[in-house]
Amino acid sequence: MNKIDNSVIEIDLDNCTKCNACVNDCVYHLFYTESEELQITKNFEEQCILCGHCVAVCPVDVIKLKIHKDTPIRKIFKTEEIPNYDSLYKLALKRRSVRQFTTELVSKQLIEKLLELARYSPTGNNTENVFYTVVQNKQIVTSISNYITMKVKRFVESMDDPKGREFLKTRLSTVEFDLALENLPKNKAILKVIDDGIDYWCWDGELIFIHGDITIGGISSNTALAAAHIMFAAETLGLGTCSLGYLTYYTNQSETIKKWINLPENHEVGYSLVIGYPKVKYKRIPSREQIRVQWL
Ligand SMILES: Cc1cc2nc3c(=O)[nH]c(=O)nc-3n(C[C@H](O)[C@H](O)[C@H](O)COP(=O)(O)O)c2cc1C
Ligand code: SF4
Ligand code: SF4
């Protein structure tokens, strides 16, 4: 067989129709033709980001990437098989942040379905630097919430104490200190809610931490996109979710929480979600700001 074969890609040149679709679509222009024969650039193996566009665009299926061998390459879906704008619009409008859950646990299979959808969310430069930690153990959830409460209580007490406040002023940047001062009444109100028995940080549900290797970068955008996929998928399966910005923040600050969730070395949490069966039913869709856009 006349073929291109290296550590990344294999192309069956005998059956290549020379349509040039891969040449035109590769983001790094790693294909070219010479004497009407398909060629790859010298630096192909270093530059290919394994995005699979060449595989996806080739009409005769002669390009194989040597990654993800366990995933068969599927044909693209027909237009009528995918949700239309109206159904997607309704899904987006129906989704609410859910903060009240029943005690029913979400099965591992269902959570796997959500992650399967998020697996196909885009990542910058196709780094696929997205990892998940699912916490189904409610004891761990409670420990995390109690730990954050303890930290916030201590912080509020220090901010309330003149000496403590002076000390924090020397420790925090001006921006951080001003923000802490501004947030003091809010934090006190949160502590009051917690005193009343509410799990303000995790809403007493199951948790999905979405994290990535800090040496690779793009964590916040990639994890947020994965989270968006999960949130929409959850909605279609009768599950509720809520983003947990506080949890993300406090987890990244705390070696204790990182240890409890077995966060891999060098990883940072980019996004956290709580998930569960909603105990609340929303009857209406709240209004939102008009689209703020400038057209140039
Ligand atoms: C990045 C981000 C962080 C958030 N963090 C929290 C959080 O820590 N706790 C919480 O209860 N809700 C959190 N939310 C939910 C927002 O409050 C909620 O999305 C917003 O009020 C709009 O409500 P909706 O999601 O029902 O449309 C967060 C949302 C986003 C996008
Ligand atoms: S996988 Fe992506 S980057 Fe690599 S050759 Fe194909 S299109 Fe180009
Ligand atoms: S897309 Fe497929 S058929 Fe077309 S030039 Fe590339 S390898 Fe050949």
Ordered by start, the domain boundaries in the chain are 3-65, 79-296
Two domains, one topology: 3-65 and 79-296: no
Whole-number Å distance, alpha carbon 127 to ligand 2 midpoint, is 13
**DSSP string of 62-117?**
-EEESS-TTSPPPPPPPGGGS--HHHHHHHHHH--B---B-SPPPPHHHHHHHHHH
Pocket test of ligand 3: the residue of 12, 13, 22, 65 to mutate, having most ligand atoms within 8 Å of its CB, is 22
H helices of the chain, in order, are 21-25, 44-47, 53-57, 85-94, 108-118, 138-160, 162-171, 174-195, 219-236, 245-253, 255-260
- Rg (Cα) of the chain, in Å, rounded? 24
- Residues forming a β-bridge with 267: 213
- Residues forming a β-bridge with 20: none
CB of 251 within 8 A of CB of 281?
no
| CATH number for the domain running over 79-296 | 3.40.109.10
Q: Residue whose CA is closest, atom 6 of ligand 2?
A: 54
Pocket test of ligand 1: the residue of 141, 244, 269 to mutate, having most ligand atoms within 8 Å of its CB, is 244
Handedness of CA 85, 86, 91, 94 (dihedral sign): positive
pTM for the whole structure: 0.95
Q: What is the pLDDT along the chain (296 residues), one digit of tens a residue?
A: 899 999 999 999 999 999 999 999 999 999 999 999 999 999 999 999 999 999 999 999 999 999 988 888 999 999 999 999 999 999 999 999 999 999 999 999 999 999 999 999 999 999 999 999 999 999 999 999 999 999 999 999 999 999 999 999 999 999 999 999 999 999 999 999 999 999 999 999 999 999 999 999 899 999 999 999 999 999 999 999 999 999 999 999 999 999 999 999 999 999 999 999 999 999 999 999 999 999 99
Which residues, 6+ apart, have CB-to-CB distance to 120 below 8 Å?
229
Atom of ligand 1 nearest to the CA of 99: 11
CB of 225 within 8 A of CB of 122?
yes
Give the pair of three-digit tokens for residue 182: 């501004």
Q: Residue whose CA is closest, atom 4 of ligand 3?
A: 19
CB of 159 within 8 A of CB of 165?
yes
d(CA 9, CA 224): 31
The closest alpha carbon to 204, from 140, 282, 288, belongs to: 140
Q: Is 268 helix (H, G, I), strand (E, B) or coil?
A: strand
Residue located via tokens 């940047």: 173
Q: Residue whose CA is closest, atom 4 of ligand 2?
A: 48
Q: In degrees, to the nearest 5, what angle opens at C-alpha 101 toward C-alphas 97 and 105?
A: 120
Query: Quick one: which ligand is closest to 30's CA?
Result: 2
Q: Is 213 helix (H, G, I), strand (E, B) or coil?
A: strand
Within 6 A (CB) of ligand 2 lie 26-28, 30, 48-54, 65
Is any atom of ligand 1 closer than 6 Å to the C-beta of 248? Answer: no
Class of domain 3-65: alpha beta
